[in-house]
Chains A and B, each alone.
Chain A
Amino acid sequence: MKIVDARGLSCPEPVVLLRSAMASGESSYQIIVDNHASRENTTRYAQHMGYKVDVSENNGEWTLTFTK
């Protein structure tokens, strides 16, 4: 599973990184973000691409797991 560390980055960068990662065509990805807008935007993009989203929060950071 590909893991994208997008902590500290603000939108649209996390979505750009996620999109680049998803170009590899794997069935699951993980992205770590640390702000609400990035969490919302990456979730929206992954849902749009047909992925299911699982979210876990730890001390102001979110780990989003996307699976098909």
Chain B
Amino acid sequence: MNIKRERTTIIVAGLIIGLIAALLVYFGNPANMGFCIACFLRDTAGSLGLHRAAAVQYIRPEIVGLVLGSFIVALCRKEFSAKGGSAPVTRFVLGFFVMIGCLMFLGCPFRMILRLAGGDLNALLGLVGFVIGILAGVFFLKQGYSLKRTYTQTKLEGIVFPVVQIAVFILLVAAPAFIFFTEAGGGPGAKHAPILISLAAGLFVGALAQRTRLCMVGGIRDIVLFREPKLLMGFGAILVSALVCNLILNGAADATFFHLSFTEQPVAHTDGLWNCLGMVLVGFGCVLLGGCPLRQLVMSGEGNSDSAVTVLGLIVGAAFCHNFGLASSAAGPTDAGKIAVIIGLVAVALIGCLNTFKKKA
């Protein structure tokens, strides 16, 4: 294994991904939201009618592309492998609570980087919480936390989730009456790049993420656990690339791509404590899951049905957030959302304890 080449590859991939994320905003995605796995799953859930928040309903082709990009590359490289059966219900619950943390902060770890690259200083509080959450997860990993092994499954089981993505994409293009779309000017759901650009971006980033094993939570986790910097280099490269692109676009285009402040940031609030606590929950839950929401999508494309179940947990979590007023808005977090985050932290800690300190059978 050539470690230098591996590191160069992930840095180049990160630089390309940062560029694509910035360009997606240029082409129409919401500001600082070239990619946001949490927001995009939430928008897709709304479009499918799983929640009725009219401002956030759109089938995001980036999600379809991420899964299919990973699926195609995994097939070509003979890395597609249908596996699953490692505590799927526990993973569903973890995915559910990770989404509650994401929608408290208003973004997944990927968007946290893009918010930083757009000058949103609230994301610094998110980053602090993210690191704290990862440290909590690493504590359990060091004590022997495990959701136990996966088992080989039929190829069909691994292919189902990518096929579902194709079906969802057909619904976007066909736009039958039962699919909900945010009306123009009605909120973030109405802001999107053209379908084919979004799909191509998703396919490309999914392919790069599959090749490099890119994971936003893995970067900090591996540095703490093993002093291994590879994944963190990808994290850093995305930040640098998106920041530079935003600064260039700020000068070249009419819209604002970089604005250094806490206030008046797009799709963000200024409650530092809850930005932090939301991302504590995300970091903690993602370490116990073995990867960030982006990595879960990529692994679901590689045939991992546990990751597919995790994504379903994220989707259901998003629907709950908007059906029961748990999601934050630009006005700030809700009381119900704060209670949900606290319940989430307790639940994730319990999952950690019960899968670490239980008596050996």
Give A residues with C-beta under 8 Å from B: 7-13, 15-16, 19, 35-37, 40-41, 43-45, 47-48, 53, 60
Contact = CB atoms under 8 A, between A and B. Distances in A.
Contacts of B86: 8, 10
Given A11-B290, A16-B225, A47 B1 contact: yes
A7 B3 contact: no
Nearest to B227: A48
Contacts, number: 56
A16 B151 contact: no
B55 to A, nearest CB: 36
A16 B1 contact: no
Interface residues of B, number: 25
A67 B350 CA distance: 39
Nearest to A45: B226
Given A11-B290, A12-B222, A35-B81, 15 more contacts: A7-B149, A8-B148, A8-B149, A10-B86, A10-B150, A10-B304, A12-B141, A12-B290, A13-B290, A15-B226, A19-B226, A40-B6, A44-B1, A48-B3, A53-B1
Interface string B289-305: 01000000000000010
A65 to B, nearest CB: 14
A17 B295 CA distance: 22
A63 to B, nearest CB: 16
A44 B230 contact: yes
B79 interface: yes
A8 B3 contact: no
Interface string B204-236: 000000000100001001100110101000000
Nearest to A53: B1
A44 B290 contact: no
B228 A48 contact: yes
A43 B228 contact: no
Nearest to B306: A10
B322 interface: no
17 contacts: A7-B149, A8-B149, A9-B146, A9-B149, A10-B150, A11-B218, A11-B290, A12-B221, A12-B222, A13-B146, A40-B6, A44-B1, A44-B230, A45-B228, A47-B1, A47-B3, A48-B3
Contacts of A10: 86, 150, 290, 304
B290 A40 contact: no
B79 A36 contact: yes
A12 B226 CA distance: 10
Contacts of A15: 225-226
A36 B79 CA distance: 7
Contact of A40 (B81, B146, B213): B213
A29 to B, nearest CB: 16
Q: Most B CB atoms within 10 A — which of A12, A43, A53?
A: A12
B142 A60 contact: no
B83 A35 contact: yes
B1 A40 contact: yes
Nearest to B138: A12
Contacts of B221: 12
Contacts of A36: 79
Contacts of B149: 7-9
Contacts of A60: 81, 152
A19 B138 CA distance: 14
B95 to A, nearest CB: 15
A43 B83 contact: no
B97 to A, nearest CB: 20
Contacts of A9: 146, 149-150
Contact of B3 (A11, A13, A19, A44): A44
Nearest to A19: B226
Contacts of B304: 10
B81 A44 contact: no
Contact of A43 (B1, B152, B213): B1
Contacts of B142: 16
